Structure 1
Amino acid sequence: MKKLCLLLIALIGVTSLVYAQSSADKTTIYIVRHGEKDLSDPKNPDPQLSSEGLARAKSLAARLKREKFAAVFSTKYKRTTQTGELVAKKNKVAIAFYNPSDPKSLAELIKSRYKGKKVLIIGHSNTVLELAEAFGVTRPLFALTDDDYDFIFKVDVNDNGYASLSTGNYGMPHHTSVIKKN
């Protein structure tokens, strides 16, 4: 009976180690669009966040406060970097810039360099869904509209390359209904 108990304890221990290892190898990528931008100067190609956008950036940081990020990626625009600043500061990482026209290269970089870690990417209405697809998930929406600022996409990629997606909302809602998490 003692041998059976010891065998059972050993089996549980090995199973726990395998589970811990498999969850440690999961790479998690959060993808959001920048917060609302200041539209007071329609000729400004690089506006900062509006007061609503700054509030959304705070909401993003609050939503992700329990997560430990190894990297925060942004395009070189003020509105995207401002959206990620609080998360980057809390995690003591510098914001890294990426080329929004090449989401596949960014996805490959993250899957190789940040394997088993968490990453935040801030993009634009015309790049966020392409970024999710670059990690191997099906596009969750047909398109984002100009007032879609409250979506958050979470992509999990396991060590075999299988990717899954969950979606949600954060901050002040723009939608009458919240997207259910997958």
Structure 2
Amino acid sequence: MKKLALFLSLSFLFSTAVFAQATQVWIVRHAEKDKSNPQDNDPNLSEEGRIRAGDLARYLKKVKFDVAFSTSYKRTHQTLDSLVIQKVIDYKDAKSLIDSIKKNYEGKTVIVAGHSNTVLELIEAFGGKRPKEMLTDDDYDYIFHLSVKDDKARVKMDQYGRPHHL
């Protein structure tokens, strides 16, 4: 009887691990910011950026997000505003973000808004391969979809809205 109980327990644990769902992580850089005041360290989106934020909502219209993560800057929050997500959580660094998602949102669908100098690093931190060597200050139209399971991530890159590189 003990062997049967042990066998059933191990079978349950194994099947749970095998069938655990991957976490779906979408990563996007904030849309175009207003550059009219070079001294403003926290500008709003420009008119072009507001249009791109709407394009993001149209691109992701069939995706149901459980939560969104954003840096504390206005432009990252405003990029996500058109998605109408109930819960938006600020993050400060990649490690705490990754830890929070893996601990609290495993098997869920999340979106992260970052910056040109953080997006690719986030992909690597999730265990994915960098799909581009770098993002420039003018790269606003890329979006990355990661399917994360354990410490590995499959990465798909796409573009949305008006192509930035014509």
TM-score w.r.t. structure 1 length? 0.78
User: d(CA) in 1 for partners of 2:152 and 2:143?
Assistant: 20
2:87 corresponds, among 88, 94, 100, to 94
The answer for unaligned runs of 5 or more in structure 1 is 1-17, 177-182
- Matching residue of 2:39: 43
> What percentage of residue pairs aligned between the two structures are identical?
51
Gaps of 5+ in 2: 1-14
| Amino acid in the other structure paired with 2:39 | K
Q: Hey, what does 1:173 align to over in structure 2? A: 163
Aligned equivalent of 2:53, options 57, 63, 84: 57
Instruction: Give the root-mean-square deviation of aligned CA atoms.
Output: 1.5
**1:132 matched residue in structure 2:** 123
Conservation of the 8 A alpha-carbon contact between 1:27 and 1:114: yes
- 2: CA distance between counterparts of 1:175 and 1:169? 10
Shift of 1:140: 1.4
Look up the SS of the partner of 2:34 in the other structure.
coil
- Corresponding pairs, count: 150
Deviation at 1:141, TM superposition (A): 1.4
2:114 is aligned to 123
1:144 aligns with 2:140: no
1:104 is aligned to 95
AA paired with 2:97? L
The one-letter code of the counterpart of 1:97 is D
Question: Counterpart of 1:143 in structure 2: which amino acid?
Answer: M
Moved >6 Å (runs of 4+)? none
TM-score, structure 2 length as denominator?
Answer: 0.85
What amino acid maps onto 1:49 in structure 2? L
1:80 to 76, 79, 82: 76
Task: Check conservation: 1:132, 1:139, Cα contact below 8 A.
Answer: yes
Q: Do the aligned partners of 2:66 and 2:87 also contact (CA within 8 Å) in 1?
A: no
